[in-house]
Structure 1
């Protein structure tokens, strides 16, 4: 999420989220902290969404719930992105949001700002860059992009308009850095179709293709390959079905009459006449493919002879989940084809030469690389220097670090509050290190609950401690742990009673520390220890 601010008025660019890694057990979503925007909600003129991917639009419902729908006069984007956003907001009962689809080249006025959206190419239709006009100059946000000269929909990026903006003068360019570490030019999305067709022609059984649900162009190429090989297509996964319906209505997806079937109809056709397009390319726990791999899908049971085509690459952090899914598929007897085996995936982000092309087209006074980790931001800086942008005019920023631009130049201002919010079910809040740490402990080593009953007068044990453990594999280790925890608890209570320590809170602290230390010493495990002291 980016904020453009001028004379006390603000405009938001993209409101995305990210998914938790393996180090955040129990967390569903990770959102940006909205505090800065919440405190200035009355100053919002508009929200601009560049495209429909979750890391650019996924947090919109949460933001509007936080600051109120009435605080945002308009939310603008392309037609497909607007309809995807509308669907998300409807799920959150935010039907009154001021969503507005705008054409590329149309100039929208919003307080001191003007907004123009520029057609670009990405792995989803309707991807846009945004040129934000201010009295101080024009700021261009690329969003996610690549310069695909042969896109599936035949509509390449509007490089002419980018060059015009460059000639008119651009104050600041904020450019996507995702693939700054990959040399050359990215392959065209249109090259994936022939590769998929070749894979389909070599398969005798069912084919299950998994990709991002928002990659409408990939779904189109799967449909085309299925038609060419005489196969029916079943869309599986709520987001896959929903996005495909929206794309069909807006003519971004063309599906021949009679080719689509319902998942429940799959078994009515021979295996060599069926293609399934499924969510789950990132190994998401509740996705359709993951459930199939764990034999937990209500309508599709995988078997030997099925071919699973991963038409996507793992997002950094998802490799373990994807590998676990692939391993499960092999155990079932499936054949698995990934982008390492055939050219069945093309990145939606431009490589180094495309990033340099963007810089040369726009020719900004100042440049700030965005949308990447520290390594890729640094590499993007180096690319900007290679095309002639002065090092002093390039700013590697950080979340919450504002770039102040005035007539006297550009400089970073004081750090503002930033951070993340965690979504756990439907609850939203700031991350608690203790809570997340406890969840990691539970996931790794389980929990031990110790209940001790002591005399309220003497502090002595009335009966042997009760010990319950959960989360450890059954066997000798569990028995040793229970025995160790019980003996440790008795020792701690006896020492406390002799010392005249009767305070329940203090005894629980001693039990926690003593039992945890003894378990680790004996078994090299660190379970979560929960002592309960009952006075009688």
Structure 2
């Protein structure tokens, strides 16, 4: 990987913008070494990356000469061919520094033609679309983009099986619970722990919704009563009823048509309307024949209701709703939410 990065550092005509996982301290050290080797200055960009960089520096895990790393605003004063920006956003995260650079909405730096963008990371399955969209934006700005498919610019930071075996033998845990990965990977990791001397009852494979209770010399896994995705709706934190979600989906797909009738309280005759208000269904002014057909149908439906029923607004609304639903399904093959409103004067 170092050789692959060396080639791109040597040949890059302008600013190098390199993105990687913010926890990969060894990768950051490699970039610092190459920047020093080719006479470039470095700026760190991104909250998590800056935090990890500072922690690693305090612990002595990063070694670099004084003056190599500059604040971003000072790096802009350095000639373009002598600049390296290490940033977050390798997975296309929408609010990351790299995404904002791609959209020209990052105040710290504006991508220029011939800049080199290096993705020193792999594409995590599921993020392909957002990453490729990001790459397309950089090409629109005239920059060149390099990924692991274009050169040896990335190596996995995950431990191999032998390294995990060594860790287990050195630490010799009393209990073991593997994390991070799919169930098949957790199971294999648990089997490795058993190979290293742990008993089967000392290895715990937990899935979402389970908890591990620990004591001084014991551990116990147990499921919780409920766990899963919670839809936060405004200030309501206890989820949303299924019927509410169903109505929202219906509105989103077919829209709503409000029917307003003004009825005389004494004679039960239509005094005004029917008036129609469409939201997300059709543009009323562009569909006058259909709207007129709806109005005529509503008026006719009301007149055909028995006199006793005309005093029961719920009955009138149900009849109007049923008639309009059939008419609109026949005319448009759509099923908007129909909301009749009866005003009595």
TM-score normalised by the chain length of structure 1:
0.48
Q: Equivalent residue for 1:72? A: none
Q: Deviations over 1:64-111 (max 9, x none)?
A: xxxxxxxxxxxxxxxxxxxxxxxxxxxxxxxxxxxxxxxxxxxxxxxx
1:429 is aligned to 2:240: no
RMSD over equivalenced CA pairs, Å: 4.9
Q: Which residue of 2 aligns with 1:270?
A: 79
User: How far, CA to CA, are the matches of 2:283 and 2:11 in structure 1?
Assistant: 54
Q: CA separation in 2, counterparts of 1:492 and 1:382?
A: 71
Cross-structure match for 2:133: 324
* Deviation of the 1:208 alpha carbon: 0.7
Q: Structure 2 vs 1, CA of residues 231 and 403 (structure 1 numbering), >3 Å: closer, same or farther?
A: closer
1:237 maps to which residue? 46
1:312 aligns with 2:105: no
Q: Which runs of structure 2 are paired with 1:373-392 in the superposition (5 Å)? A: 373-384=182-193
Match for residue 282 of structure 1? 91
Per-residue displacement from partner, 1:478-517 (whole Å, max 9, x unpaired)?
Answer: 769x85996897599569745556349x76x959x949x9
Contact 2:274 2:298 in 1 (8 A): no
Which consecutive residues of structure 2, in runs of 5 or more, have no partner in the other structure? none
CA deviations 1:196-228 (Å, max 9, x no partner) are 333211212221111234444433332222221
What number of residue pairs does the alignment pair up?
Answer: 328
CA distance in 2, matches of 1:488, 1:251: 79
Inter-CA distance 281–369: structure 2 relative to 1 (3 Å threshold)? same
- Compared with structure 1, are the counterparts of its residues 298 and 434 closer, same or farther at alpha carbon in structure 2 (3 Å cutoff)? farther
- Say which of 274, 280, 297 aligns to 1:469: 280
Structure 1 CA distance, aligned partners of 2:121 and 2:113?
23
Shift of 1:391: 5.2
1:221 to 24, 30, 49: 30
- Checking the alignment, whether the CA contact within 8 Å between 2:232 and 2:239 is kept in structure 1 is no
- The one of 335, 345, 349 equivalent to 2:154 is 345
Matched ranges for 1:65-80 at <5 A: none
- Corresponding residue number in structure 2 for 1:522: 333
Task: For 2:7 and 2:269, locate their aligned partners in 1 and report how far apart those are by CA, in whole Å.
Answer: 77
Please identify which structure carries the higher helix content. Answer: 2
Q: Normalized per residue, which structure has more strand? A: 1
Tell me the equivalent position of 2:165: 356
Alpha-carbon distance, 1:288 to partner: 1.5
Q: Structure 1 unaligned segments of length 5 or more: list them.
A: 1-191, 471-477
- Corresponding position: 1:455 with 2:262: yes
Alpha-carbon distance between aligned partners in 2 of 1:434 and 1:278, rounded to the nearest angstrom? 42
Which residue of the partner structure matches residue 107 of structure 2? 298
Gap change, CA 1:293 and 1:446, over 3 Å in 2? farther
Relative to structure 1, the CA distance from residue 231 to residue 496 in structure 2 (aligned partners, 3 Å threshold; closer, same or farther) is farther
Distance 1:377 1:228, change over 3 A: same
- 3-state SS in 1 of match to 2:67: coil
User: 1-side partners of 2:260 and 2:75: how far apart?
Assistant: 60
Q: Partner of 2:67 in structure 1?
A: 258
Task: Decide which moves more: 450-459 or 299-308.
Answer: 450-459
Is the Cα contact below 8 Å between 1:492 and 1:514 reproduced in 2? no
> In 2, Cα distance between the equivalents of 1:280 and 1:207?
15
CA contact (8 A) 1:496 1:502 kept: no
Check 1:433–1:272 CA distance in 2 against 1; reply closer, same or farther (3 A cut).
farther
Higher RCO by CA contacts (8 Å cutoff, separation 6 or greater): 1
The aligned residue for residue 39 of structure 1 is none
* Structure 1 position 211 matched with structure 2 position 38: no
Q: Tell me the distance in 1 between the aligned counterparts of 2:292 and 2:159.
A: 62
For the residues of structure 2 that align with 1:439 and 1:346, how far apart are their CA atoms? Answer: 48
Q: Deviations over 1:219-250 (max 9, x none)?
A: 33322222211122233334444544454455
Q: Is the 8 A contact 1:311 1:339 kept in 2?
A: yes
Q: Give the Å deviation of 1:361.
A: 4.5
The structure-2 alpha-carbon separation of the partners of 1:468 and 1:413, relative to structure 1 and needing over 3 Å to count, comes to closer
> 1:309: Cα distance to partner?
0.9
Q: Give me the whole-angstrom Cα distance separating, in 1, the residues matched to 2:196 and 2:3.
A: 35
Q: Distance in 2 between matches of 1:437 and 1:413?
A: 32
Contact 1:405–1:411, Cα closer than 8 Å, also in 2: yes
Q: Cα gap change, 1:449/1:262 in structure 2, threshold over 3 Å: closer, same or farther?
A: farther
Within 5 A, what are the aligned runs for 1:18-33? none
The 8 Å contact of residues 209 and 226 in structure 2, kept in 1 or not, is answered as: yes
| Distance of aligned partners of 1:439 and 1:451 in 2 relative to their CA distance in 1, 3 Å threshold | closer
Once the two structures are TM-superposed, the CA of residue 462 in structure 1 deviates from its matched residue by 1.6
Q: CA deviation at 1:414?
A: 5.6
